[in-house]
Amino acid sequence: MQGHPTFPGRMSLSSYIRRSSLTVDDDRLSPLTMTVNNQAYNQHMKTSNIRMKQISFFLSVLLFLLFFLLLEGPMFYIPYYHEQHHLFLFTQAYLDSHLSAPGQLLGYLTDFCIQFFYLPHTGKGWFAFLLSLPYLLNVMICHQLTRKHDLFLLALVPSLWLLIQYLSVDFPVTHIVGLDFCLLVYWAISSVKSNRLKLILFIPATAILYWICGWIYPVITLIIILIPMLSALFVTGYITNNKYRLATNLFSLLVYAGGTFYFFIFSYNMRERLIIEAEIHLKAGQWEQVMDCCRRYRRQNQLILYLNNIALYHTGKMPDNLFDYPQTMGVQSLYLPWKSDSRQTEYGHYIYEQLGYINEAHRWAFEAMTVFGETAPNLINLIRYNIVNHRPKVAMRFIRKLKHSLFYRKQAEELEKHLSSGELPGLKAIPYDKDEKVRFANILNIGPELSYLCYKDSTNRMAFEYLMSDLLLSNQLVRFAENLKRIRSFSYPALPRIYEEALYTYRLGVDEDTFNKLGFDISPATEERFKAYYALYQRKDRQALKKQFGNTYWYYLNFLSPYGNKVITK
């Protein structure tokens, strides 16, 4: 077969034709290749966005679970405290009180949200949802406006920052409610498809938010929205590799997790928790748990000593174990002197209620209402005190108000049933005497009030033990000895240890006839213990004294009493 002709120094005709054909085909395929590449890129970005949505959803669930577990565990007292200091009422008057100025309606929304903290587990889940919501809303807003996701996960920062802030009970729930509400409104606007309509809706929505929340919350919300958006617009586009994107996500998560853990540990207020936890147990009558909280406090605090001494009485340990706890504040560890301290107003009524001194308990409850408002605990206390003081009309005023709440309505109805009888289980007022002259309570010193209570009711064991403790803590051994005869109204198996120690100290300072008139004997064991104590005292061995006799009245009188180491005889 004859072959194809060739050209000297040139390629064959068939080769030329093949080369020409390939060149023409390549030129024609270039636009198609670009289209395929664009489709591949778009598919890559779509897959990346789907993956980021999955990560965002996973983080939202994880965030909620983390907050819920923390609120069920170390932060359990936070929702309780806020619920006890807010009360939402379903009345027109209550709504009208929040409509007088811009920003006040947010308080109405906050109280509405807080009322659900009353439910033990559901309330904590609701609080966890409120704390995790800013992240989810911010992520959705960012994607709606930019069609991109923030690889640095900056939307996590507000929720984590708020978690740390809520470790303090003084941080208002108003902040999370205001932020969530503003984010919800802006998320609704961002969901509108038309950009022009978004702009049209933005201005009136912001004006409405100003009226509801004030100006600060919309401004902060817009800043919180803007930061992840800028990151998504100017950073995300430069990181296209899936491995690098995932690495950026993981690095950001590690930074946030490490920072949150550090600040959580650093900011956690164990002492604040123990005080609130002790009060929870006190309300439930769990006295051993109250003492356990006070024991774990490990520092001197008047409120802790006050709660601990109440628990000591109810466990029957006050006459024997009063000095197991360093009573360095003297008589002020038994009660809270009136010092116009707003924080103490909600605790002062406990001792007077249990002593049966209802008028003084009522005064403290009313002062607490003046400071903290018409909260459920304050209203319930005022209802109870007015019932046993036979003032049904005053009690009914507070009952009507409490009936308009969601979770306290039944309790108000139960209290209403006792209006006619004027009696309540577990609450007893001192006997009322119409002929008795008007008497004003001593708000600075509980001593005279305890003497008055013992005079009015000689069977009031709590008043007696507190009177004895008051006299011992104030170094008034002479008055202690004179009042010790009141013990015969009660069935103590033997003279309590610290009473016998104080009585022996009193005997050392009087003649035998004076002591014998009291009608009490000192056991040989107490005399031997004093000899051992005195021997160490003469050697000035303070460490050995504290170890062996730190829980005795002798050690308190010599080393701890804030009134000096001398017996007060007047």
pLDDT in tens, 64-82: 999 999 999 999 999 999 9
Model confidence at 9, pLDDT cuts 50, 70, 90, reads very low
Contact (CB, 8 A) for 383 and 412: yes
pLDDT tens, residue by residue, 454-489: 999 999 999 999 999 999 999 999 999 999 999 999
Residue with the larger pLDDT of the pair 6 and 233: 233
Q: Which of 161-175, 213-227, 333-347 comes out lowest in average pLDDT?
A: 333-347
CB atoms within 10 A of CB 118: 17
For position 122, what pLDDT does the model report? 97
CA gap 472, 498 in Å, rounded? 9
21, pLDDT greater than 60: no
Residue 486's contacts (CB-CB under 8 Å, 6 or more residues apart) are 454, 458, 464, 467
Over 60: is that where the pLDDT of 40 sits?
Answer: no
pLDDT of residue 438: 73
The span from the CA of 365 to the CA of 360, in Å, is 9
Alpha carbons 131 and 138: distance in angstroms, whole number: 13
Encoding tokens for residue 558? 């010599």
- Give the pLDDT score at 22: 40
φ, ψ for residue 331 (rounded to 5)?
A: -65, -20
What φ, ψ does residue 315 adopt, rounded to 5°? -90, 0
Give me the torsion for CA of 309, 312, 316, 319, rounded to 10°.
Answer: -60
pLDDT at residue 241 is higher than 90: no
Rounded distance, CA 452 to CA 448, Å? 6
Cα–Cα distance between 28 and 40 in angstroms, integer? 20
Whose tokens are 């996500």? That residue is 249
Radius of gyration of the chain (CA): 37
The CA distance from 344 to 486, in Å, is: 32
Which has more pLDDT, 64 or 236? Answer: 64
Q: What is the pTM of this model?
A: 0.87
For helices 156-165 and 242-267, give the axis angle rounded to 10 degrees: 10
Angle between helices 524-538 and 497-508 (to 10 degrees): 70
Residues 163 and 264: beta-carbon distance below 8 Å: yes
User: Phi and psi at residue 484, in whole multiples of 5°?
Assistant: -65, -20
* 118 pLDDT above the threshold of 90: yes
The listed range with the strongest mean pLDDT (375-379, 445-449, 511-515) is 375-379
The pLDDT value given to residue 46: 55
User: Cα(388)–Cα(384) distance, rounded to whole angstroms?
Assistant: 7
pLDDT at 31: 54
Q: Looking at residue 35, what is its pLDDT? A: 54
Is 550 strand, coil or helix?
Answer: coil
Q: Is the pLDDT of residue 176 over 50?
A: yes
Average pLDDT (430-446) is 78
Annotate 416-449 with b (16+ C-beta within 10 A) or e (fewer): bebbeeeeeeebbbbeeeeeeeeeeeebeebbeb
Which residues are 17's β-sheet partners?
none
The single residue listed with the structure tokens 């031997």 is: 528
Q: Is the pLDDT of residue 554 over 70?
A: yes
Confidence of residue 49 (pLDDT cuts 50, 70, 90): low
340 pLDDT band, cuts 50/70/90, is confident
| Nearest C-alpha neighbor of 125 from the set 108, 140, 113 | 113
Residue 402: is its pLDDT beyond 90? yes
Average pLDDT of the chain is 90
Residue 192 has pLDDT above 90, yes or no: yes
Q: What pLDDT, on a 0 to 100 scale, did the predictor assign at position 123?
A: 97
79-88, 133-142, 335-344, 445-454: which has the minimum mean pLDDT? Answer: 335-344
User: What are the CA-CA distances from residue 237 to residues 231, 245, 541 (Å)?
Assistant: 10, 10, 76
Whether residue 261 has pLDDT greater than 90 = yes
Distance CA(379)–CA(411), nearest Å, equals 11
**pLDDT level of residue 8 (50, 70, 90 thresholds):** very low
SS3 state of residue 507? helix
Specify the pLDDT at position 446.
92
- Is the distance from CB of 475 to CB of 500 less than 8 angstroms? no
pLDDT at res. 570: 67
Q: What is the DSSP string of 210-264?
A: HHHH-SHHHHHHHHHHHHHHHHHHHTGGG---HHHHHHHHHHHHHHHHHHHHHHH
- Say what the pLDDT of residue 50 is: 67
**E strand or H helix at 442:** none
The three-class DSSP label of residue 427 is: strand
| Each residue's pLDDT tens digit, 341-397 | 888 899 999 999 999 999 999 999 999 999 999 999 999 999 999 999 999 999 999
Q: Could you tell me the pLDDT band of residue 209, with boundaries at 50, 70 and 90?
A: very high
pLDDT of residue 240: 77
Q: 438 or 83, which is more confident? A: 83
Q: What would the pLDDT profile of 269-325 be if each residue is shown by its tens digit?
A: 999 999 999 999 999 999 999 999 999 998 889 999 999 999 999 999 999 999 999
Output the pLDDT for position 30. 55
CB 133 within 8 A of CB 153: no
